[in-house]
Amino acid sequence: MSEGIRATYSRRAVSKNIEIKKDEQTVTEKEDVTESTLEIEQIRGDPSMLQSMTVKELRELTRRMGVSGKGNKKDLVSALMDSLGQDATGKEGTSTVEKNGQSEVPSKRKSAASVVVEQNLETSEVISVTPSKRSRTKQKSTKGTTPKEKSVTTVKLNKTSIQKEALVVHGTVDDGEPWTVLVHKKPRPEWIPYNPKVMRPPPLSKDTRAVKILSWNVNGLRALLKSRGFSIHELAQREDFDVLCLQETKMQEKDIEVIKESLLEGYTNSFWTCSVSKLGYSGTAIISRVKPLSIKYGLGVPDHDTEGRVVTVEFDDFYLLTAYVPNAGDGLKRLTYRVTEWDPCLGNYMKELEKSKPVILTGDLNCAHQEIDIHDPAGNSRSAGFTKEERKSFETNFLSKGFVDTFRKQHPDVVGYSYWGYRHNCRKTNRGWRLDYFLVSESIAERVHDSYILPDVSASDHSPLGLILKL
Catalytic residues: 324, 462
The DSSP line for 258-297 is HHHHHS-TT--EEEEE--SSSTTS--EEEEESS--SEEEE
CB 194 within 8 A of CB 453: yes
CB 152 within 8 A of CB 143: yes
Enumerate the H helices of 132-220 as residue ranges.
196-199
3-class state of residue 78 by DSSP: helix
Contacts of 381 (CB under 8 A, 6+ apart): 387, 388
Local structure of residue 469 (DSSP, 8 states):
E
What is the rounded distance in angstroms from the CA atom of residue 8 to the CA atom of residue 10? 6
Contacts of 415 (CB under 8 A, 6+ apart): 182, 183, 184, 187, 191, 192, 193, 194, 372
Provide the edge-to-edge strand list for the sheet that holds 465-470.
269-273, 284-288, 243-247, 210-217, 465-470, 448-453
What is the rounded distance in angstroms from the CA atom of residue 192 to the CA atom of residue 414? 5
Contacts of 52 (CB under 8 A, 6+ apart): 425
Q: Which of 295, 299, 279 is nearest to 287 (CA)?
A: 295
